[in-house]
Homo-oligomer: A and B are copies of this chain.
Amino acid sequence: MLGKSGGGRGDGTKVEMDAFAARCRAAGLKVTPQRTAVYKVLLEMEEHPSAEVVYQRVREVFPNISLDTVNRTLLSLSEIGTASVVEGSGDAKRFDGNLANHQHFKCLKCKRIIDFHHKAFDNVKIPGSIKDRFVVLKKAVYFEGICDLCREGR
Protein backbone atom coordinates (compact mmCIF):
# COMPACT_ATOMS: atom_id res chain seq x y z
CA MET A 1 0.00 0.00 0.00
CA LEU A 2 1.59 3.18 -1.14
CA GLY A 3 1.36 6.69 0.13
CA LYS A 4 -1.28 9.35 -0.13
CA SER A 5 -2.11 8.87 -3.75
CA GLY A 6 -1.59 5.18 -4.07
CA GLY A 7 -5.22 4.63 -4.90
CA GLY A 8 -5.66 1.91 -2.32
CA ARG A 9 -7.59 3.37 0.51
CA GLY A 10 -7.44 6.43 2.61
CA ASP A 11 -7.41 9.26 0.16
CA GLY A 12 -10.15 11.26 -1.43
CA THR A 13 -8.98 11.27 -5.02
CA LYS A 14 -10.89 13.20 -7.62
CA VAL A 15 -12.15 9.96 -9.10
CA GLU A 16 -13.48 8.82 -5.76
CA MET A 17 -15.11 12.14 -5.05
CA ASP A 18 -16.74 12.20 -8.47
CA ALA A 19 -18.10 8.73 -7.93
CA PHE A 20 -19.39 9.88 -4.59
CA ALA A 21 -21.19 12.85 -6.12
CA ALA A 22 -22.73 10.62 -8.75
CA ARG A 23 -23.89 8.17 -6.16
CA CYS A 24 -25.52 10.88 -4.11
CA ARG A 25 -27.35 12.30 -7.07
CA ALA A 26 -28.49 8.85 -8.10
CA ALA A 27 -29.99 8.42 -4.65
CA GLY A 28 -31.58 11.83 -4.70
CA LEU A 29 -29.19 13.35 -2.17
CA LYS A 30 -27.76 16.74 -2.80
CA VAL A 31 -24.03 17.11 -3.01
CA THR A 32 -23.35 19.67 -0.34
CA PRO A 33 -19.92 20.78 0.79
CA GLN A 34 -20.60 19.34 4.26
CA ARG A 35 -21.43 15.93 2.88
CA THR A 36 -18.41 15.95 0.71
CA ALA A 37 -16.19 16.92 3.61
CA VAL A 38 -17.60 14.22 5.85
CA TYR A 39 -17.13 11.58 3.22
CA LYS A 40 -13.60 12.69 2.53
CA VAL A 41 -12.67 12.48 6.19
CA LEU A 42 -14.22 9.06 6.45
CA LEU A 43 -12.08 7.84 3.58
CA GLU A 44 -8.97 9.33 5.05
CA MET A 45 -9.36 7.73 8.43
CA GLU A 46 -8.01 4.28 8.78
CA GLU A 47 -9.64 3.43 12.07
CA HIS A 48 -13.36 3.45 12.00
CA PRO A 49 -14.32 6.65 13.67
CA SER A 50 -17.37 7.45 15.71
CA ALA A 51 -19.46 10.43 14.62
CA GLU A 52 -17.76 12.50 17.28
CA VAL A 53 -14.30 11.80 15.89
CA VAL A 54 -15.34 12.57 12.34
CA TYR A 55 -16.85 15.75 13.65
CA GLN A 56 -13.60 16.89 15.27
CA ARG A 57 -11.73 16.19 12.09
CA VAL A 58 -14.18 17.83 9.73
CA ARG A 59 -14.17 20.93 11.87
CA GLU A 60 -10.54 21.49 10.98
CA VAL A 61 -11.58 22.40 7.45
CA PHE A 62 -15.19 23.30 8.14
CA PRO A 63 -15.35 25.03 11.51
CA ASN A 64 -19.06 25.71 11.38
CA ILE A 65 -20.38 22.24 10.78
CA SER A 66 -22.50 20.76 13.52
CA LEU A 67 -22.29 17.35 15.07
CA ASP A 68 -25.84 16.65 13.98
CA THR A 69 -24.97 17.17 10.38
CA VAL A 70 -22.09 14.76 10.70
CA ASN A 71 -24.36 12.25 12.31
CA ARG A 72 -27.06 12.61 9.72
CA THR A 73 -24.58 12.49 6.91
CA LEU A 74 -22.97 9.31 8.14
CA LEU A 75 -26.37 7.72 8.45
CA SER A 76 -27.36 8.83 4.98
CA LEU A 77 -24.17 7.47 3.53
CA SER A 78 -24.84 4.14 5.18
CA GLU A 79 -28.30 4.09 3.71
CA ILE A 80 -27.16 4.61 0.16
CA GLY A 81 -24.41 2.08 0.60
CA THR A 82 -21.52 4.51 0.35
CA ALA A 83 -20.42 3.79 3.89
CA SER A 84 -21.44 1.29 6.48
CA VAL A 85 -21.90 0.92 10.18
CA VAL A 86 -19.47 -1.47 11.81
CA GLU A 87 -21.28 -4.66 12.70
CA GLY A 88 -22.91 -4.69 16.08
CA SER A 89 -21.99 -1.19 17.10
CA GLY A 90 -24.41 1.45 18.19
CA ASP A 91 -26.87 -0.22 20.49
CA ALA A 92 -27.00 -0.86 24.18
CA LYS A 93 -24.83 -3.55 25.71
CA ARG A 94 -26.18 -7.05 25.37
CA PHE A 95 -25.39 -9.80 27.81
CA ASP A 96 -24.95 -13.47 27.34
CA GLY A 97 -25.16 -16.16 29.98
CA ASN A 98 -24.33 -18.90 27.55
CA LEU A 99 -20.66 -19.67 27.87
CA ALA A 100 -20.58 -22.50 25.37
CA ASN A 101 -19.12 -21.90 21.97
CA HIS A 102 -21.72 -20.34 19.72
CA GLN A 103 -22.35 -17.59 17.22
CA HIS A 104 -24.76 -14.70 16.98
CA PHE A 105 -27.27 -13.50 14.46
CA LYS A 106 -28.66 -10.03 15.05
CA CYS A 107 -31.91 -8.78 13.57
CA LEU A 108 -31.45 -5.22 12.40
CA LYS A 109 -35.15 -4.52 12.73
CA CYS A 110 -36.16 -5.84 16.15
CA LYS A 111 -32.59 -6.01 17.52
CA ARG A 112 -33.03 -9.54 18.77
CA ILE A 113 -29.79 -11.45 19.00
CA ILE A 114 -30.20 -15.11 18.28
CA ASP A 115 -27.71 -17.84 19.04
CA PHE A 116 -26.77 -20.51 16.66
CA HIS A 117 -24.04 -23.03 16.64
CA HIS A 118 -22.16 -24.15 13.60
CA LYS A 119 -19.23 -26.35 14.47
CA ALA A 120 -17.13 -25.17 11.57
CA PHE A 121 -17.04 -21.70 13.14
CA ASP A 122 -15.74 -22.82 16.49
CA ASN A 123 -12.17 -22.97 15.40
CA VAL A 124 -11.66 -19.95 13.25
CA LYS A 125 -7.94 -19.55 12.72
CA ILE A 126 -6.46 -16.25 13.70
CA PRO A 127 -4.28 -14.99 10.85
CA GLY A 128 -0.62 -14.67 11.74
CA SER A 129 -0.57 -10.97 10.95
CA ILE A 130 -3.13 -10.46 13.71
CA LYS A 131 -1.64 -12.82 16.22
CA ASP A 132 1.68 -11.03 15.92
CA ARG A 133 0.33 -7.56 16.59
CA PHE A 134 -2.56 -8.10 18.96
CA VAL A 135 -3.71 -10.15 21.90
CA VAL A 136 -6.93 -11.76 20.74
CA LEU A 137 -9.36 -12.36 23.56
CA LYS A 138 -12.48 -13.15 21.60
CA LYS A 139 -13.18 -14.36 18.12
CA ALA A 140 -16.62 -14.30 16.65
CA VAL A 141 -18.52 -15.09 13.51
CA TYR A 142 -21.43 -12.76 13.33
CA PHE A 143 -24.37 -12.30 10.98
CA GLU A 144 -26.80 -9.46 10.66
CA GLY A 145 -30.07 -9.33 8.77
CA ILE A 146 -33.79 -9.69 9.18
CA CYS A 147 -35.20 -12.40 11.41
CA ASP A 148 -38.08 -14.75 10.70
CA LEU A 149 -40.58 -12.83 12.81
CA CYS A 150 -39.81 -9.47 11.21
CA ARG A 151 -39.83 -10.95 7.75
CA GLU A 152 -43.37 -12.27 8.00
CA GLY A 153 -45.57 -10.48 10.46
CA ARG A 154 -44.75 -6.88 10.84
Q: Please list the residues of chain A having a beta carbon within 8 angstroms of any beta carbon in chain B.
A: 9, 39, 42-43, 45-52, 54, 74, 77-78, 81-100, 104-105, 107-108, 112-116, 118, 120-121, 124-127, 129-130, 133-148, 151
Contact = CB atoms under 8 A, between A and B. Distances in A.
Nearest to A88: B88
Given A97-B39, A142-B142, A147-B134, A104 B86 contact: yes
Among A39, A77, A81, A95, residue most surrounded by chain B Cβ atoms (within 10 Å): A95
Nearest to A44: B97
Contacts of A48: 94-96, 104, 113, 115
Given A48-B104, A89-B93, A133 B148 contact: yes
B140 A143 contact: yes
Contact of A130 (B94, B105, B129): B105
A143 B139 contact: yes
A85 B88 CA distance: 12
Nearest to A139: B143
A59 to B, nearest CB: 17
A40 to B, nearest CB: 9
